[in-house]
Amino acid sequence: MTGSYKLNVDLELLKKYNRPGPRYTSYPTAPQFSEDFGSSDFRAEIVDSNKVANAPNLSLYFHIPFCRSLCYFCACNTIITHSQERVEKYLADLKEEIDLLSGLISPGRKVVQLHWGGGTPTYLTPNQIKGLSLYIRDRFDIVDDAEIAMEIDPRGLDSRHLPTIREVGFNRVSFGVQDFDPRVQEAVNRVQPEGLSRDVVKTSRELGFESINIDLVYGLPYQTVESYTRTLDKIIDISPDRLAVFNWAYVPWLKKHQRVIPQEALPATGDRLRLLKLIIEKLTGAGYVYIGMDHFAKPDDELALALENRSLYRNFQGYSTRADAEVYGMGVTSISQLRNVYAQNTKDTKIYGDELSQNRIPTHIGYRLSDDDKLRRHVITELMCNGVVVKSDVGDQYGIDFDAYFADSIAKLDEFVGDGLLTISPDRIEVQGAGRLVIRNIAMVFDRYLDQSGDGSKSTYSRTV
């Protein structure tokens, strides 16, 4: 990529559009998933997906839910345990699911992307990581240049973890940091010395990992613009290839453990927006490209290049460069994303194991997309990822008159046009400059389910900026 990456943020603009809304890792979004879609529905769809001419490639996700301790800010699906027996039982069940799904998917389909998330995948011992990785490779055809990534907690590593992870073929790693400020770390029960974070990044580079991501969080207790400036300065010095900087949602009614965090210590809404302004301006000023939402990447990173050539994609794992792949999630709570359906596994480890022992996919809820869903998913994905919708391309692909079909939605875009965030021409809708900062708001205009359910349901979503 060429040119300047610096983005200047208008706080008044952020305040205006700071409303609850979906993140659009899927469309329709998870609240539309239903127990009416179950194991037999998903199995039938897998079989049908093999019959499509040039059946799509595969993106595999494996959920390792275990953690040694609870981070108070966490909203992930985790299990706090010190029982190796429980871990071994889960790994045995996970291998049963691998056998079941690999037996249903046509053997000619290639894996182009593979990701382990959690929880904490590195809760597993190096031997367990090696064993599971080899088991997966024995049952799926993974291409030589596949993107193979793992989420890593630096605090639980021993000297063999990173070498083993690299040895079995992982080429990307993602480290959680959140914040370097000691007071913030103590308040959220995640104490991680700066030196440890620097050491794992250094070792990862020496081992030849192709891409290193660091996760940060803003909106945590005791964070200020001054303290977070210090964290960002250190992160820029460490120089990861990618950064994900998440806006933390305080939802103690959903995650009861968050109640131990002192609410009075949380940044006020205005302070959160100032933190976001700081993050975007400081990182883009340091040469990172703002990919969208929470993500930043160096200009030569695949994500940045995909943004430039408009081939970026988005799924439950965030932004991706593998738009042609169907996602198959394995493990508790994992979500599969096929062309026609979404399917999510149960979160209960006992039910998970029981279902697999009966040779049933442990699907708990799911959703089958209508033709309208597929059309709107396409439009929302193009906006979220590439910032432009070419009306004639959409019309040709779906057999519609774009302006007529979306007349009501287009009328709602006037606000964004008036604020200089969007342009609408006879053949395209294109996001401009700061419009990328409120891209969720723009996408919401095309979401049929928000219109159906009314504004009250939006409170189930995080705020858009």
Q: Is the dihedral of CA 443, 445, 451, 453 positive or negative?
A: positive
- Residue written as tokens 């993140």? 23
Strand pairing category for 79-80 and 66-67: parallel
Residue 203 clears pLDDT 90, i.e. is over it: yes
Q: How confident is the model at residue 465 (pLDDT cuts 50, 70, 90)?
A: confident
Single-letter code of the amino acid located at 307: L
Residue 109 clears pLDDT 80, i.e. is over it: yes
The stretch 129-154 carries a mean pLDDT of 97
CA distance 303 to 291: 7
Bridge partners, 315 (sequence order)? 318
Q: How confident is the model at residue 457 (pLDDT cuts 50, 70, 90)?
A: very low
Residue 307 clears pLDDT 50, i.e. is over it: yes
* Domains in the chain: ranges and CATH: 29-330 (3.20.20.70), 371-465 (1.10.10.920)
| Structure confidence at residue 53 (pLDDT) | 86
Pair 102, 48: CB distance under 8 Å: no
Query: Quick one: which of 148, 133, 124, 129 has its CA closest to 67?
Result: 124
CA distance 64 to 205: 24
Tokens of 381: 């994905």
What is the C-alpha radius of gyration for the chain, rounded to an integer number of angstroms?
Answer: 22
- Residue written as tokens 């049933």? 360
Tokens of 452: 């159906």
| Three-class DSSP category at 48 | helix
- Residue written as tokens 């580079």? 205
pTM across the whole model = 0.94
DSSP letters, 91-115, are HHHHHHHHHHHHHHS-TTPEEEEEE
For residue 213, give Cα distances in angstroms to 77, 199, 204, 255. 21, 14, 11, 26
More confident residue, 258 or 149: 149
Pair 332, 64: CB distance under 8 Å: no
276-298: pLDDT as tens digits: 999 999 999 999 999 988 999 99
Residue 453 clears pLDDT 60, i.e. is over it: no
CA distance 98 to 136: 7
The stretch 355-383 carries a mean pLDDT of 97
CA distance 135 to 185: 37
Pair 314, 3: CB distance under 8 Å: no
DSSP letters, 25-44, are SSSS-GGG-BTTS-HHHHHH
When mean pLDDT is compared across 133-137, 155-159, 253-257, the lowest value belongs to 253-257
Helix ranges (H only) for 361-427 are 371-386, 391-398, 402-405, 407-411, 414-418
Torsion of CA 225, 230, 231, 234, to 10 degrees: 150
| Three-class DSSP category at 129 | helix
Helix, strand, coil percentages for the chain (3-state, nearest 5): 45, 20, 35
| Structure confidence at residue 452 (pLDDT) | 55
Tell me how far apart the terminal alpha carbons of the chain are, to the nearest angstrom: 26
Q: For residue 259, report the phi and psi dihedrals to the nearest 5 degrees.
A: -65, -20
